[in-house]
A and B are shown apart, each in its own frame.
Chain A
Amino acid sequence: MRDPQTAPPRLHLAFAALGLGFLAIFSWVFFKEQGAEWRSAQARFRKLEATVKNPHQLAQSAGAAGVRQVWLPDLDRVDRCTTCHLGVDDPAFAKAPALFRSHPGTWLTTHPVERFGCTVCHDGQGEATDYAHAAHKPIPGVARAMRPLETIEANCGACHRSLEPRGAPRLAEGRRLIVESGCVACHDIPGFEGVSFRGPGLDSLGYKVRPDWLEGWLKDPKGYLANSKMGNFRLSEAEIAGLRALLLSQKAEAPQVADVDWKKADSANGKALFGQLRCVSCHAVNGRGGTMGPELSRIGDKVRRDWLFSYLRDPHREQPDTAMLQYRLTDTQVRDVAAFLLEEYKTPGGEAEAAPAPYQDAPAVAEGRAVFVRRGCYGCHKLAGIRETGKIGPSLAGVADRDPDQLPYGGKPVRRTADNYIFLKVQQPDSLGAPSLMPTFSFAPAQAAKITLALASLHKADLPASRVVKEAPPTPYRPRGAFGELVTRYRCLSCHRIGGSGGDLSTVPLDRIGSQLQHDYLVAYLLNPGAVRVSVEARMPVFHMLPEEARTIADYAATTFLDDDLDRYDTRFTPAEVSRGEQLYRQLGCVGCHQLNLQGGYVGPDLSNTGQRLRPGWTAAWLAAPNRYKPGTLQPDYGLSPGDARALTAYLASLGGSTSRAAGKAASATGGGHP
């Protein structure tokens, strides 16, 4: 029987080889585990820690070995970034190498790591424990790689839902641009539910505009108005012809032409009035002026004479929602201003105005109506007889989470992410391969980037309520009664803020104006707003208010817009205080910025009539702490003691006797016209 009792030797060799191989492989497994990235990172951190920290403080991180994770069940996140980023929460590591450096700024004080983790702001794959899988750079198979820092405010917006979140300026600007550009007219956007946007009503367009202008406008709005809110709808010739037919056939109401003798119009008077009414505060001409209203550089090309007359007489009748105020002008004055505008601000050599021609072209009108509905013009413009069928654009809810692989990029060499799609779409809606109804807004790239930031914060998933930060918007201020009617007529809130709502053209909120200005001065000022500061361009317009209107406003302010702290000030000054104040006035060098009796600088207001202009309680409070009332003001904070402030106040309150120039102004308060 041939049966060796042991295996042939080559098998033993094989066994030895395989056994050693097995041991080698197993050791490789061990070393691979020991050599994990995060272990070596922690070892390096230990060494660094010894050089950076006080030995007693080393006990702090004693419990820091091993994988460190922040588990946020309400956000369904697990972040293990701090396994390697060990110094992120410790200011002692401000100068350490990037991996261990402490987090810049004070972000971790307001957003502690243990409550927020890291990926809520930075994105990336928090569960990973090595550099590659954490998606510091984009990797296939991971939807959310780490955000570049320039776009990080998009993640702020996921929780901070108010329209102007503090601490995120680019996001706030993006949201502001969305409000201003009227995106909500076509799209439902979460967070912008209370925002509405209307363009001018189009019901009397036939009387308002010249036909040739309308064609040019429809072809390219920015050709007429550089900062027009209306985008370019890329309309075909047929569409423009249809819309033109439709819009010019609208004759809802004839304007109030009455008997206007245009031949007697006095453009020179119109020009003077134009300056007095301070139209440029809101309407730019030739590149200079405000932006609250449309630029008037070529108004002569656009509007008809009769309509302009009617509008200037009563803007609220033509456009009830407009921010423009209604001056109290005579028809002659209105005629002169209208004539001036139409003569001065137009393309030279333009055609004379033709009478409005009735439109009989029914098919064109029908086509126009179809275009009006198809392109969603009714989203911004009211037009009688149009059936509004809801917003024509898709809802933007969850737009940041759309599947990047299903989105068009128009063949552009960009990474396929939802953010890039949004950016491209906002800039050039029709360049992404598929035809688009969205108009081209010609945003500057920086603007489009900020809008993208705002839209990239719109996620599909809901946040738990405890994580949402939404400051309630200020309730709009709507006064009632006689005062309320005046505020509505003269549109005070277009430029001023009261109670947090209003415009920002004026830097003076009116909440305590009754405690700041003396009553009679305010009346005189409303009737004849002069220059308080020579160096400031913006001026309050001459309203041509009636005296009783001015008095109503001043009375209301004196009883309502008050600050009790200012009003309690003891205004019984002694002569000693006055002379000490005069001494201080000289010592502190106030004359460098302020005029006094025709002497002094132009930076601050003329102080010659302070005794009749300002109330002493306000003066004292202002001198003591100017930055409290106007952060960033040029008025220095001298650190005055209360006594010194009182002395200066006493001195200033003594200025402006009846012989001064300002007293003369106040005494000649008249209604209508000007001195």
Chain B
Amino acid sequence: MASPRFPRTRAWLDETARSVWRIGWPRTDKDRAAVMISSFFLHLPPARVSRHVLRPSYTLGLGLISAILFGVLTVTGLALMLYYVPHPPEAYRSVMDLQSVVTFGVILRNMHRWSAHAMVFVVFLHLCRVFWTGSYKRPREFNWVVGVVLLLLTLALSFTGYLLPWDQLAFWAITVGTNIAAYAPVVGDQVKFLLLGGHVIGPMTLLRFYVLHCVFLPLAVAVLISVHVWRVRKDGLSGAPEGSKPVEETAGVFPPSTKTWGLMALTRRPTVSVEARDPEDEVFAWPHLLYRELLVALGVVIALHVVSLLFMAPLEEMADPTRTPNPAKAPWYFLGLQELVHYSAFVGGVLVPTLIVVALLALPYVDRHPRGVGRWFAPERRVANAIFTAVVAVATVLTIIGTLFRGPNWAWTWPW
């Protein structure tokens, strides 16, 4: 290689870079490993990953996409906070201003809304993926629980944010949603009273939802995402490498690893490493994993931009408590429940949601069968997969019915 030009400038830049990032641009294997450990922002992935991790077809990157969407939502949300006023009727007017006068306000609002809907959907897909690959089983039970809590928090974030534009759509969707919640036995009305900050949806409700939406829930989600990813690191990725030796289980203890860590030289068995993997399968996270993650991020952002440029986030007239639109629909992710509520308030409002949540949380502690982890639709898990798929299908159908096929007075209607 010829010697580079401006050697002294380059040397100075190099030293300054090193003072900030401790490692310069990695050019050796040692540096590639070190940069993953010494940089704060890069400390999440391990220094080396199984090359099979790089396959998109296993996890479909859904967890990553969820996290990217959360990041987009945080950034766009912070920007929107500079113009949004959380007090009716200025709330509506400020959203109108964002759409009509604020420079780039339209695209920002659209991006926030569409990424919110996308996040709910992607998180749901991620849950399905984890189930269908059996990745909730030991030792990942608690991570599954954290994930379910994250799902609920995501729904809560979307729900609290739905009210903020204070238009007819928002107001009545939240009316329906909080009324469904009120069906909970014993505590239902209290919960509704606390949520609303009163008996009716008014300025106090908006303020509570705003603070929940911008402070409490994002903090909780951020903390839990960190825990979630931490557990992924520690529990290891469940995708079984192709052609690798099947994992052997020793009664009651984690599978043995062929790898020892220098720091663990004092013990014979590592206490935290859980991956059974072949060193031959590994590649450095820098650049392989990170580059792919960057591409996924770019793709997601581009897709969000395109959607935001093509589709406007809805804004109807200002909320009017005296005029109910007919029909008044909950946000789309609750429309399956609203459809059930149409048949029976108790079943749809209390029974089914409780059952679903309890079932999801208890799942990894009930299903102790260790086989079938790491493969899509493993035959050993036929029954579990069948049950889950059936429930998902029913939920999807109910949601589609509620969205498209229900008109005024919740009567059947054709959407065309």
A80: chain B residues within 8 A (beta carbon): 100-101
Convert B227-260 into 0s and 1s, putting 1 for each residue whose CB lies closer than 8 angstroms to a CB of A.
0000000000000000000000000000000000
Q: Output the nearest chain B residue to A134 by Cβ-Cβ distance.
A: B100
Task: Tell me the bound Cα distance from A138 to B103 in angstroms.
Answer: 26
Q: Could you tell me if B279 and A1 are in contact, using CB atoms closer than 8 angstroms?
A: yes
Q: Could you tell me if A127 and B298 are in contact, using CB atoms closer than 8 angstroms?
A: no
Q: Output the nearest chain A residue to B27 by Cβ-Cβ distance.
A: A5
Q: Could you tell me if B295 and A32 are in contact, using CB atoms closer than 8 angstroms?
A: no
Q: How far is the CB of B220 from chain A (nearest CB, A)?
A: 31
Q: Does B306 contact A (CB under 8 A)?
A: yes
Q: A78-B93, A129-B100 are in contact. Are A29 and B309 (CB under 8 A)?
A: yes
A14: chain B residues within 8 A (beta carbon): 295
Q: Could you tell me if A33 and B104 are in contact, using CB atoms closer than 8 angstroms?
A: yes
- Which listed residue (A3, A25, A78, A142) contacts B305, Cβ 8 A? A25
Q: Could you tell me if A15 and B291 are in contact, using CB atoms closer than 8 angstroms?
A: yes
Q: How far is the CB of B210 from chain A (nearest CB, A)?
A: 21
- Which listed residue (A3, A129, A141) contacts B101, Cβ 8 A? A129
Q: Output the nearest chain A residue to B299 by Cβ-Cβ distance.
A: A18
Which of B77-85, B314-322, B353-361 lies at the interface with chain A? Answer: B314-322
Q: Could you tell me if A141 and B317 are in contact, using CB atoms closer than 8 angstroms?
A: yes
Interface centre among A22, A25, A133, A403 (most CB of B within 10 A): A25
Query: Quick one: which of B118-157 are within 8 Å of A by CB?
Result: none
Q: Could you tell me if B302 and A25 are in contact, using CB atoms closer than 8 angstroms?
A: yes
Q: Output the nearest chain B residue to A67 by Cβ-Cβ distance.
A: B101
Q: Could you tell me if A32 and B284 are in contact, using CB atoms closer than 8 angstroms?
A: no
Task: Tell me the bound Cα distance from A6 to B326 in angstroms.
Answer: 59
Q: Output the nearest chain B residue to A3 by Cβ-Cβ distance.
A: B283
Convert A61-76 into 0s and 1s, putting 1 for each residue whose CB lies closer than 8 angstroms to a CB of B.
0000001010000001
Q: Could you tell me if A15 and B100 are in contact, using CB atoms closer than 8 angstroms?
A: no
B279: chain A residues within 8 A (beta carbon): 1
Q: Could you tell me if B317 and A29 are in contact, using CB atoms closer than 8 angstroms?
A: no
Task: Tell me the bound Cα distance from A425 to B131 in angstroms.
Answer: 61
B299: chain A residues within 8 A (beta carbon): 18
Task: Tell me the bound Cα distance from A2 to B282 in angstroms.
Answer: 8
Task: Tell me the bound Cα distance from A80 to B93 in angstroms.
Answer: 13
- Which listed residue (B97, B104, B168, B301) contacts A127, Cβ 8 A? B97
Q: Does A226 contact B (CB under 8 A)?
A: no
Q: Output the nearest chain B residue to A19 by Cβ-Cβ distance.
A: B298
Q: Could you tell me if B302 and A22 are in contact, using CB atoms closer than 8 angstroms?
A: yes
Q: Output the nearest chain B residue to A133 by Cβ-Cβ distance.
A: B100
Q: Could you tell me if B301 and A22 are in contact, using CB atoms closer than 8 angstroms?
A: yes
Q: Output the nearest chain A residue to B101 by Cβ-Cβ distance.
A: A67
Task: Tell me the bound Cα distance from A133 to B106 in angstroms.
Answer: 13
Query: Quick one: which of B273-296 are within 8 Å of A by CB?
Result: 279-280, 282-284, 287-288, 291-292, 294-295
Q: Does B107 contact A (CB under 8 A)?
A: yes
Q: Does B96 contact A (CB under 8 A)?
A: yes
A434: chain B residues within 8 A (beta carbon): none
Task: Tell me the bound Cα distance from A603 to B328 in angstroms.
Answer: 72
Q: Could you tell me if A127 and B93 are in contact, using CB atoms closer than 8 angstroms?
A: yes
Q: Does B323 contact A (CB under 8 A)?
A: yes
Q: Could you tell me if A32 and B107 are in contact, using CB atoms closer than 8 angstroms?
A: yes
Q: Does A477 contact B (CB under 8 A)?
A: no
Number of A-B contacts (CB under 8 A): 79
Q: How far is the CB of A668 from chain B (nearest CB, A)?
A: 74
Query: Quick one: which of A1-44 are within 8 Å of B by CB?
Result: 1-7, 11, 14-15, 18-19, 21-22, 25-26, 28-29, 32-33
Task: Tell me the bound Cα distance from A403 to B325 in angstroms.
Answer: 10
- Which listed residue (A5, A18, A127, A405) contacts B302, Cβ 8 A? A18
Q: Output the nearest chain A residue to B283 by Cβ-Cβ distance.
A: A3
Q: Could you tell me if B302 and A7 are in contact, using CB atoms closer than 8 angstroms?
A: no
Q: Could you tell me if A3 and B104 are in contact, using CB atoms closer than 8 angstroms?
A: no
A2: chain B residues within 8 A (beta carbon): 280
Task: Tell me the bound Cα distance from A406 to B96 in angstroms.
Answer: 26
Task: Tell me the bound Cα distance from A215 to B301 in angstroms.
Answer: 80
Q: How far is the CB of A138 from chain B (nearest CB, A)?
A: 12
Q: A32-B107, A127-B93 are in contact. Are A403 and B305 (CB under 8 A)?
A: no
Q: Could you tell me if B309 and A11 are in contact, using CB atoms closer than 8 angstroms?
A: no
Query: Quick one: which of B306-349 are within 8 Å of A by CB?
Result: 306, 309, 314-317, 322-323, 325-326
Task: Tell me the bound Cα distance from A3 to B29 in angstroms.
Answer: 9
B309: chain A residues within 8 A (beta carbon): 25, 28-29, 32
Q: How far is the CB of B79 from chain A (nearest CB, A)?
A: 14
Q: Does A128 contact B (CB under 8 A)?
A: yes
Convert A254-292 into 0s and 1s, putting 1 for each residue whose CB lies closer than 8 angstroms to a CB of B.
000000000000000000000000000000000000000
Q: How far is the CB of A69 from chain B (nearest CB, A)?
A: 8
The secondary structure that dominates the B interface is helix
Q: A127-B93, A141-B316 are in contact. Are A11 and B282 (CB under 8 A)?
A: no
Q: How far is the CB of B287 from chain A (nearest CB, A)?
A: 5
Q: How far is the CB of A370 from chain B (nearest CB, A)?
A: 35
Q: Could you tell me if A11 and B295 are in contact, using CB atoms closer than 8 angstroms?
A: yes
B294: chain A residues within 8 A (beta carbon): 15
Q: Does A143 contact B (CB under 8 A)?
A: yes
A67: chain B residues within 8 A (beta carbon): 101
Q: Does A343 contact B (CB under 8 A)?
A: no
- Which listed residue (B100, B287, B288) contacts A130, Cβ 8 A? B100
Q: Could you tell me if A128 and B96 are in contact, using CB atoms closer than 8 angstroms?
A: yes
Q: Could you tell me if B107 and A29 are in contact, using CB atoms closer than 8 angstroms?
A: yes
B292: chain A residues within 8 A (beta carbon): 11
Task: Tell me the bound Cα distance from A261 to B313 in angstroms.
Answer: 89
A143: chain B residues within 8 A (beta carbon): 317
B287: chain A residues within 8 A (beta carbon): 6-7
Task: Tell me the bound Cα distance from A108 to B101 in angstroms.
Answer: 25
A406: chain B residues within 8 A (beta carbon): 323
A19: chain B residues within 8 A (beta carbon): 298
A26: chain B residues within 8 A (beta carbon): 305
Task: Tell me the bound Cα distance from A142 to B314 in angstroms.
Answer: 12
Q: How far is the CB of A35 from chain B (nearest CB, A)?
A: 12
A5: chain B residues within 8 A (beta carbon): 29
Task: Tell me the bound Cα distance from A25 to B315 in angstroms.
Answer: 24
B314: chain A residues within 8 A (beta carbon): 141
Q: Could you tell me if B288 and A22 are in contact, using CB atoms closer than 8 angstroms?
A: no
Task: Tell me the bound Cα distance from A133 to B283 in angstroms.
Answer: 55
Q: Could you tell me if A7 and B93 are in contact, using CB atoms closer than 8 angstroms?
A: no
Q: Output the nearest chain A residue to B408 by Cβ-Cβ distance.
A: A405
Q: Output the nearest chain A residue to B96 by Cβ-Cβ distance.
A: A127
A33: chain B residues within 8 A (beta carbon): 103-104, 107
Q: Could you tell me if A18 and B305 are in contact, using CB atoms closer than 8 angstroms?
A: no
B280: chain A residues within 8 A (beta carbon): 1-2
A21: chain B residues within 8 A (beta carbon): 298, 302
Task: Tell me the bound Cα distance from A184 to B131 in angstroms.
Answer: 71
Q: Could you tell me if B323 and A403 are in contact, using CB atoms closer than 8 angstroms?
A: yes
B284: chain A residues within 8 A (beta carbon): 3
B322: chain A residues within 8 A (beta carbon): 403
Convert A196-217 into 0s and 1s, putting 1 for each residue whose CB lies closer than 8 angstroms to a CB of B.
0000000000000000000000
Q: How far is the CB of B321 from chain A (nearest CB, A)?
A: 12
Query: Quick one: which of B202-216 are within 8 Å of A by CB?
Result: none
Task: Tell me the bound Cα distance from A89 to B29 in angstroms.
Answer: 72
Task: Tell me the bound Cα distance from A133 to B96 in angstroms.
Answer: 10
Q: How far is the CB of B35 from chain A (nearest CB, A)?
A: 13
Known: A21-B298, A80-B101; 4 extra A-B contacts, CB below 8 A, are A14-B295, A19-B298, A26-B305, A141-B168
8 A-B pairs with least C-beta separation: A141-B316, A18-B298, A25-B305, A129-B100, A403-B323, A127-B96, A67-B101, A7-B291
* 12 pairs, CB–CB < 8 Å, chain A vs chain B: A7-B287, A15-B298, A18-B298, A25-B306, A26-B305, A32-B107, A78-B93, A80-B100, A129-B101, A141-B316, A403-B322, A405-B325
**Chain B interface (Cβ within 8 Å of chain A)?**
29, 89, 93, 96-97, 99-101, 103-104, 107, 168, 279-280, 282-284, 287-288, 291-292, 294-295, 298-299, 301-302, 305-306, 309, 314-317, 322-323, 325-326
